[in-house]
Amino acid sequence: MNQVITKREFMSDLKTYFSIEDLTRIKLQNYIKIGLIKRLKHYHTKGQVGSQADYPKNSPGMIYLIKFMKDRRMKLRDIRSYLDLLELNLEAVRDIKDIIEDDRRHRENILFKEGITPEIKDYLLKEIPLKLLNLKKFTITRFERLKQIIIQRAYAELDQKEITEIISRNSKDLDSINKIQENIDPPGVETNIDKLDLTKEDSIKEAYISVRYGEPFYKTVLFKENQIEVISD
């Protein structure tokens, strides 16, 4: 798959697969300046008015990620900070480990206050989303935010044309390509970071985050140190 697209292809994919038509030049330039979007090449083509540019293939998905998180009141600088964590260098892995631990303590505090036994607590922590445990005390933890970023970042790496074709073949109720994300079951997110011993020299090389999509296209997006790989099951 070609990993580079022109600006024309960028705007076309953004409209076709993400229903976004209001990305202004000023907004795009701001995202580039902040480092949320990469511009690989900027040039002029003889016979064409205006400048041309090439972008990574995942750029439309990254714009959707930005919109998705902004709609949830996350500031651009915070989006960038969370995305930087997905590079999984040593500093990032340490931060993620702390974020996971903070989330665990927050959940446990809610459960213990409700007088739930440790056995039931362990089950609830594993099986039930935080927001269903106690809506009055529900706050979105940093880990919940990070998971949202992880899922959207993984989705940006998928080949949208391929996904559209697969889901179109397998969904009789698909009214519009633009509603494709509503037809995808939430993916599973797994990581080993909370279990790593970061005092060991090579532990950082073992760190991973995986996002697995099941039926109908069975793909896993794997985050490792400074790399993202899409694996077909």
Give the domain ranges of the chain: 1-71, 85-233
pLDDT of residue 136: 43
Q: Where are the beta strands (DSSP E) in the chain?
A: 4-6, 41-44, 51-56, 188-191, 209-213, 219-224, 227-232
Q: What is the pLDDT of residue 134?
A: 47
State residue 83's pLDDT score. 98
Q: What is the mean pLDDT of each run of 10 residues along the chain (233 residues)?
A: 85 93 94 95 63 90 96 94 96 96 80 60 60 51 92 95 82 53 76 93 92 90 96 90
User: What residues have CB less than 8 Å from 93, skipping those under 6 apart?
Assistant: 193, 196, 198, 204, 207
